[in-house]
Structure 1
Amino acid sequence: MDLLEGLESLRFEYGIREEDRSWLYLHGRSRGLMIKACAHATFFCKLLYNLRESLRKKHTSRCVLTGLLDDTPDDNDELKVGIIGGGHLGKQLARALLQLVPIPAENLRISTRRPEALDEFQKLGIQCFYRNHCLASWANVIFLCCLPSQLPNICLEIQRHLQKGCIVYSFAAAVPIARLKLLLNNTNILRPQYHCVEDFVNIWGANKEIIAALQDPAILQATCPYSPAGGIILNIKWLEGVFYAILNFCTTMDMPHFQVLQHLNELFLSVHLEDCEKDGASCPKFQLGDFVNEIYTKILPQERPFPWFDLTVVQLKETPFSQKLSTSTGLQDHLTRLYCDSFGISLSKEQQPGVSTGSSSR
């Protein structure tokens, strides 16, 4: 529903002079970047959330079968997400995580210099405060929704308090991931990179809230990791980093690598194409060699977890997973369908977005 329908004088572009209207495309681009950033962060949290829930259920089932009912996971097994920064991006992201993952309010916290301005979220039961170091010692995932100029001080505050396996996800586009690694003295960092083309069709709308926009099939398909629609292209190295971040999460739990691969195949390749349903052999499967080099595939015992991966290196250099992500159309189709399905939208074969792998140098 467009609340400004018929109220032209209240629209953003109403007061812009005719000679300046050529710059209006920047408004659409800014909105598109916001929608894509929130969508991709939500998708990442959804993957982690589903993985943790699956592990909890399997653990509980084993306890029931063995009679050890007291040996059940506690609240520490639930995904805890922190946001540093309570500005426009931080608020939009919080709403998306609450409604679309969904993260329970008690498992989401926001640290900002003006917590009193977040009354909307406090009423929902979300803790809002200004203690970055406390957030770092509590969260499994931390989103940096702050200005680039604020990052050095924030990183200094949180670097010694980050718990083992905590994933730091930065939206500060002006700060390269190599710089973030130095500031945080940490390697478990994700940073999406977006490339904007000059000529594009603005499909991002103007007045919908982010959550409503992500329920629009056309807009959601434009946010797919492989889609170039809307003039904003995601560097696919981000998706590579997402999978290695999940492997690191499993490593912190000392999970044998063969179990990790089973979970990845069950959870992340579960939305099948018609061809897979007819011929299961055509369905892609994750294997050990997709993530580690040939030496590791030969010497890694089955009961051992994956090695720890430096996510900053993963997003800057080629990895064993790079070629599979860029060349396997079957995997790309499965991940695209998984992405849309995670937002409650199913794609037909004709609706499959076009593929754009981006460039690792962008």
Structure 2
Amino acid sequence: MADISGDLGSFSFEAELTEEEKGLLHLRARSAGLTFCGCAHAAFLCKLVQSLRRIKGPAADRGSSASGQDRDVCVGILGMGHVGKQLLLALLEKSGVKPSHIKISSRTPESAVEAIKKGVECFFDNGRLAAWADVLFLCCLPSDLHKVCADLHSRLSKHCLVYSFTSGVPVTRLARLLGHDFILKPQYDFVACGTADVWLSCTHLTTALADPSLIEASCPLTTRGGISVGLNWVSAVLYSLLNICTSTGLGSSDALSLINTVLKEKSPHAVELDALSFISASQEASMCTEEPFPWISLTDAQTKETPLLRFLSSSTPMQQRISAAYRCMLCPAQ
């Protein structure tokens, strides 16, 4: 149906704004862009983990009758405010995780009625969610964080990846509160950009996630949309995949092969990740190919210079490969 007010300026949102207020309109674009990028990046992470588990399954479960579905990643969302709701939509739309493998802990289960109809289980038990999840998204308010961390403390498996959307709380503090070091906390920066208004079209997240131009603008290693999460986040995501391989006892050679496969190499000449991409030369020299990589603290990976961060900073081809994997996973028809 056509919008009969589309060409009538007096009916637009901006019509009643003062000139001073119009100067703040960019904040609306930033808010929409942050929500979109946060949800798209989280879906990409889940897609990577899901792909890793699916590929790893036959080798790790040799002799087992476990089905591919049994190897699906279990994703928990703690909190169903604005971010939690948008994240759930993104995961259902783009992550490849089945609704039956997503659970929510919320004080307001009625806020997830539509998700429950799709097969997502919702309850109010933070500890139960933490004990079940492979990936746990924190979407709570900073004011609720101490209570939430108390609920989660000692209930988190060492191998549960915690991904925090809680603003104003650095990863180092969160690690202390949770007694846990397998935590990802994206840090977004705003970059001067002539196309930042692209985010104003993100009115409906599910529609926006189908737009290749918005997926391109949200690509972690570009600044086309004026929002950047940078190499620290990408490095921590790759270390997360390495830790997942380590947690299953997978040898370093097999782990590298899996991670390179998940990144969807399309050319026989594409640059690959090797042991020295992740660890120091002295660590690599003392490790055999059948031995798993050492467990990597994601807190350190996000706050210190690492071999992987140095490698990514100097390798444009690897940055391009990761960007291509991002586009391919979130917009496969592109």
Mapped contact 2:241–2:259 kept (Cα < 8 A): no
> Residue in 2 aligned with 1:305?
292
What is the aligned counterpart of 1:251 among 218, 231, 246?
246
Amino acid in the other structure paired with 2:251: P
Tell me by how many angstroms 1:236 deviates.
Answer: 1.6
Query: CA 1:207–1:192 in structure 2 vs 1: closer, same or farther (change >3 Å)?
Result: closer
| 1:17-52 alpha-carbon deviations (Å, 9 max, x no partner) | 444111111100000000100011000000000111
Tell me by how many angstroms 1:199 deviates.
Answer: 5.8
Taking the aligned partners of 1:15 and 1:125, their CA distance within structure 2 comes to 43
How high is the TM-score relative to the length of structure 2? 0.92
Mapped contact 2:90–2:209 kept (Cα < 8 A): no
> Residue in 2 aligned with 1:324?
311
Tell me by how many angstroms 1:13 deviates.
Answer: 3.7
Taking the aligned partners of 2:143 and 2:152, their CA distance within structure 1 comes to 16
Query: CA 1:135–1:8 in structure 2 vs 1: closer, same or farther (change >3 Å)?
Result: farther
Amino acid in the other structure paired with 2:31: S
Taking the aligned partners of 1:4 and 1:321, their CA distance within structure 2 comes to 54
> Residue in 1 aligned with 2:275?
288
Q: Say which is worse superposed, 196-205 or 186-195, in terms of deviation.
A: 196-205
1:88 paired with 2:82, answer yes
1:133 paired with 2:134, answer no
Taking the aligned partners of 1:151 and 1:78, their CA distance within structure 2 comes to 28
1:190 paired with 2:190, answer no
Taking the aligned partners of 1:149 and 1:217, their CA distance within structure 2 comes to 36
Taking the aligned partners of 1:237 and 1:306, their CA distance within structure 2 comes to 20
Tell me by how many angstroms 1:11 deviates.
Answer: 5.3
Amino acid in the other structure paired with 2:161: I
> Residue in 2 aligned with 1:343?
330
> Residue in 1 aligned with 2:159?
165
Taking the aligned partners of 1:342 and 1:23, their CA distance within structure 2 comes to 34
> Residue in 2 aligned with 1:210?
205
> Residue in 1 aligned with 2:36?
35
Query: CA 1:2–1:124 in structure 2 vs 1: closer, same or farther (change >3 Å)?
Result: farther
Mapped contact 1:225–1:336 kept (Cα < 8 A): yes
Tell me by how many angstroms 1:265 deviates.
Answer: 1.6
Aligned residue for 1:110, secondary structure, equals: strand
Tell me by how many angstroms 1:289 deviates.
Answer: 1.1
1:174 paired with 2:161, answer no
> Residue in 2 aligned with 1:156?
150
Taking the aligned partners of 2:161 and 2:4, their CA distance within structure 1 comes to 39
Tell me by how many angstroms 1:253 deviates.
Answer: 0.5
| 1:50-98 alpha-carbon deviations (Å, 9 max, x no partner) | 11111224567x54xxxxxx54358653200000110111111111111
Mapped contact 2:33–2:202 kept (Cα < 8 A): no
Tell me by how many angstroms 1:181 deviates.
Answer: 0.8
Tell me by how many angstroms 1:206 deviates.
Answer: 3.3
| 1:253-294 alpha-carbon deviations (Å, 9 max, x no partner) | 111111101111222142x2xxx4xxx3x3211111111111
Q: Say which is worse superposed, 205-214 or 308-317, in terms of deviation.
A: 205-214
Identity over aligned pairs, percent: 36
Mapped contact 2:158–2:180 kept (Cα < 8 A): no
Q: What are structure 2's unaligned runs of at least 5 residues?
A: none
> Residue in 2 aligned with 1:114?
108
Amino acid in the other structure paired with 1:257: S
The CA RMSD over aligned residues, in Å, is 2.3
> Residue in 2 aligned with 1:351?
none
Q: How many residues align?
A: 332
How high is the TM-score relative to the length of structure 1? 0.85
> Residue in 1 aligned with 2:263?
268
Tell me by how many angstroms 1:124 deviates.
Answer: 1.1
Taking the aligned partners of 2:257 and 2:186, their CA distance within structure 1 comes to 27
Mapped contact 2:193–2:224 kept (Cα < 8 A): no
Mapped contact 1:340–1:346 kept (Cα < 8 A): no
Aligned residue for 1:238, secondary structure, equals: helix
Query: CA 1:180–1:318 in structure 2 vs 1: closer, same or farther (change >3 Å)?
Result: same
Amino acid in the other structure paired with 2:45: F
Taking the aligned partners of 1:124 and 1:232, their CA distance within structure 2 comes to 32
Mapped contact 1:2–1:207 kept (Cα < 8 A): no
Taking the aligned partners of 1:134 and 1:4, their CA distance within structure 2 comes to 51
Tell me by how many angstroms 1:200 deviates.
Answer: 4.5
Tell me by how many angstroms 1:207 deviates.
Answer: 5.1
Aligned residue for 2:198, secondary structure, equals: coil
Query: CA 1:4–1:225 in structure 2 vs 1: closer, same or farther (change >3 Å)?
Result: farther
Amino acid in the other structure paired with 2:34: L
Taking the aligned partners of 2:201 and 2:16, their CA distance within structure 1 comes to 16
Mapped contact 1:261–1:288 kept (Cα < 8 A): yes
